[in-house]
Amino acid sequence: MEGFFHAESKIYSSFSCACVQCSVVQAAVSTARRQVSSLLHCAPSEVTFTSGGTESNNIVLQGYVRYCIDAYGHHCSQSACRRGTVLWSSVEHPSVHGVLDAVTHSRSLATCSSSSSPPPVSGGVLCCGCDCLVSPAELERMLVAHPDTFLVSVMHSNNEVGAVQDIKRLCAIAHAHGAAFHTDASQSVGKVPIDVATDYSVLSFSFLFHCFFYGEIGC
């Protein structure tokens, strides 16, 4: 926390300006990146800072969906567009289910201009039990029902009831079906051990500073 308060009160400069103070900012950010990577057991280059969890989830989810559409050529073939499916759990934070619901209803992502063609991405909701957990069987069922699934998003810990998902197992199932996996771990980091290198082979892992270390709200 000492480093945080020092940066908040003493370091005022653009990250990329050509001045002496700029190097101080760059050094502080590099130190913070190394500290976060040490906490999560990942490489510093894998850590990206944003303004908060909502931005993090939006960047990853919208970015990956758009990347897949561009990279794998969802295009108009005769009268119908090729489609892919995104799955998310019924207990996701609005910053996850909101953006995924939006992209699955957006024709602006399509590379064809036909107004009658469906959006290139469809969505499916993973049902949770009374314990707020997504069962491996439910994920398997949905992946079999939607073999074109390319992305799955399940939050790590629920912010209301505290349920902790078996992300390692769910991620393995998604990968077995060729889908990438994202988890919103805003309520997990700092509360349960996190080892991204060995326990979570996820596409992306988002979390908030203020949820576990008294940081500024939104960080």
Q: Quick: pLDDT tens for 92-147.
A: 999 999 999 988 887 555 545 445 555 678 999 999 999 999 999 999 999 999 99
Judged by average pLDDT, the poorest of 6-20, 73-87, 136-150 is 73-87
Distance CA 17, CA 95 (A): 32
Last residue of a domain, one of 24, 49, 74: 49
Under 8 Å between Cβ of 157 and 165: yes
pLDDT of residue 213: 53
pLDDT of residue 158: 87
| Structure confidence by residue, pLDDT tens digits, 157-171 | 887 888 999 999 999
pLDDT of residue 28: 79
Using the structure block, give the residue that is written with the tokens 């079999």.
144
Q: Which two tokens stand for residue 109?
A: 């992502």
Dmax over CA atoms of the chain, in Å, equals 61
Residue 71, domain member (yes or no): yes
pLDDT of residue 42: 86
Reference 216, options 52, 93, 54; nearest CA is: 52
What pLDDT band is residue 218 in, cutting at 50, 70 and 90? very low
pLDDT of residue 3: 55
What pLDDT band is residue 74 in, cutting at 50, 70 and 90? very low
* 179 or 112: which leads in pLDDT: 179
pLDDT of residue 148: 93
pLDDT of residue 15: 61
Residue 135, domain member (yes or no): yes
Residue 1 structural domain? 1-49
Residues 70 and 158 in one domain: yes
Under 8 Å between Cβ of 49 and 28: no
> Per-residue pLDDT for 72 more than 80?
no
Q: How far is CA 150 from CA 44, 65, 72, 130, in A?
A: 27, 9, 11, 27
Q: How far is CA 94 from CA 60, 117, 120, 155, in A?
A: 15, 27, 22, 11
Residues 85 and 55 in one domain: yes
Q: Please work out, in degrees rounded to the nearest 5, the angle formed at the alpha carbon of residue 165 by the alpha carbons of 160 and 166.
A: 170
Mean pLDDT of the chain: 79
What pLDDT band is residue 17 in, cutting at 50, 70 and 90? low
pLDDT of residue 6: 57
CATH number where 191 lies? 3.40.640.10
Under 8 Å between Cβ of 163 and 130: no
Instruction: Give the number of domains in the chain.
Output: 2
Residues 125 and 201 in one domain: yes
* 147 or 78: which leads in pLDDT: 147
What pLDDT band is residue 12 in, cutting at 50, 70 and 90? low
What pLDDT band is residue 200 in, cutting at 50, 70 and 90? low
Residues 29 and 96 in one domain: no
Residues 42 and 72 in one domain: no
Residue 213, domain member (yes or no): no
pLDDT of residue 187: 79
**Amino acid, res. 151:** L
Helix (H) or strand (E) holding 180: strand 180-184
Under 8 Å between Cβ of 141 and 135: no
Supply the DSSP symbol for 209: S
